[in-house]
């Protein structure tokens, strides 16, 4: 009997460990994106002014999505800094931060604000913040959800390099480096540090950041409508080989309406959208 009990305990521990990975996976490693709206606007305004002798440039000017893709192409937005592949477009709405692409050391977004939406907690905290454009889009998303009787709660937005560092060190100290790298993002590689990502859940599932949210009415609504407000489900189901993370139906990332709609319509990932 006691052997059975041990076995059961071992299984419980395993499940617990697996769920921590789910909870902290991409959320530990979120990347920032920046505002490419200027680019978009340029693309929209410029077509008439664009030289016609270059048909490719002309097409891009007429197609804001193509212009965004060119400007933020993965291969063009990374360079070696302090021995790490570091993004060169940290402030772009389309910046891609992942396990292979870090933010510059100590990066802080320039325009963090607190969106006026319902959070799952009441205290003041840096995780209430997002970059301004993303925060305004989140307010519209939440307002629209409410109109459709969908109750969302914001759970965790911006995460500073410093906080990611202490989170990561905590895992290294208590569980060892290998475990830490599996459950938490190496500082500088969390999309939450960009100020463009936020974890969202619903009281209907106890505001947990787990896959069960994806099966709830709120999670389904979010997956279907986030792009209308410029957000994508950053770590889609079956995307691990590309994004580096398991499915995270709760983690949304602001990229602007044009890019989000393209990613949604093509059922793709940000990495693939920008050329990988
Ligand atoms: Zn997250």
Structural domains of the chain in order of their starting residue, each with its CATH number: 28-273 (3.30.1380.10)
pLDDT of residue 28: 47
Contact by Cβ (8 Å): 35, 135 = no
pLDDT of residue 48: 42
CA distance 133 to 93: 9
Residue 78: strand pairing partners: 87
- Segment 221-247 shows an average pLDDT of 95
pLDDT of residue 62: 79
Calculate how far, in angstroms, residue 6's C-alpha sits from the geometric centre of ligand 1: 34
Give residue 223's pLDDT band: very low, low, confident or very high (50, 70, 90). very high
Calculate how far, in angstroms, residue 124's C-alpha sits from the geometric centre of ligand 1: 19
DSSP 18-68: HHHHHHHHHHHS----B--HHHHHHHHHGGGTS-TT-HHHHHHHH-HHHHH
Calculate how far, in angstroms, residue 167's C-alpha sits from the geometric centre of ligand 1: 14
- Using CA of residue 111, residue 117, residue 121, residue 124, what is the dihedral sign? positive
Give residue 60's pLDDT band: very low, low, confident or very high (50, 70, 90). low
pLDDT of residue 13: 47
Calculate how far, in angstroms, residue 13's C-alpha sits from the geometric centre of ligand 1: 23
Residue 263 Cα to chain centre, angstroms? 13
Count of beta carbons in the 10 Å neighbourhood of residue 237: 13
Structure tokens given for 41: 């606007």
Contact by Cβ (8 Å): 91, 34 = yes
> For 167-203, what is each residue's pLDDT tens digit?
899 999 999 988 887 767 889 999 999 999 999 999 9
E strand or H helix that includes residue 271: helix 270-273
Calculate how far, in angstroms, residue 187's C-alpha sits from the geometric centre of ligand 1: 14
CA angle 215, 204, 153 (to 5 degrees): 100
pLDDT of residue 180: 83
Give the chain's mean pLDDT.
84
Calculate how far, in angstroms, residue 138's C-alpha sits from the geometric centre of ligand 1: 15
pLDDT of residue 185: 84
% of the chain exceeding 90 in pLDDT: 70
Structure tokens given for 9: 């305990």
pLDDT of residue 41: 40
CA distance 22 to 246: 7
- Catalytic residues, by residue number, are 248
């Amino acid at each position: 009997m006691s052997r059975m009990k041990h076995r059961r305990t071992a299984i419980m521990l395993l499940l617990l460990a697996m769920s921590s990975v789910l909870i902290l996976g991409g959320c530990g490693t979120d990347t920032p994106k920046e505002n490419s709206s200027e680019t978009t606007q340029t693309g929209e305004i410029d077509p008439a002014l664009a030289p016609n002798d270059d048909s490719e440039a002309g097409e891009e000017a007429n197609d804001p999505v193509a212009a965004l893709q060119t400007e933020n192409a993965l291969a063009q937005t990374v360079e070696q800094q302090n021995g790490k592949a570091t993004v060169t477009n940290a402030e772009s709405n389309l910046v891609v931060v992942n396990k292979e692409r870090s933010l510059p050391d100590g990066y802080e977004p320039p325009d963090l604000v607190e969106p006026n939406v319902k959070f799952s907690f009441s205290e003041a905290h840096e995780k209430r913040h997002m970059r301004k454009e993303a925060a305004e889009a989140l307010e519209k998303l939440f307002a629209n959800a409410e109109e459709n009787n969908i109750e969302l709660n914001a759970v965790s937005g911006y995460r500073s390099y410093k906080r990611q560092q202490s989170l990561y060190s905590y895992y290294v100290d208590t569980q060892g480096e290998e475990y830490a790298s599996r459950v938490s993002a190496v500082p500088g590689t969390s999309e939450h540090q960009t100020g463009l990502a936020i974890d969202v859940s619903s009281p209907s599932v106890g505001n947990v950041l787990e896959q069960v949210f994806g099966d709830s009415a709120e999670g389904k609504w979010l997956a279907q409508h986030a792009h209308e407000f410029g957000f994508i489900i950053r770590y889609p189901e079956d995307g691990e080989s590309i994004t580096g993370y398991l499915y995270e139906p709760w983690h949304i990332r602001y990229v602007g309406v044009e890019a989000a709609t393209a990613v949604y319509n093509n059922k793709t990932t940000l990495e693939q959208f920008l050329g990988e």
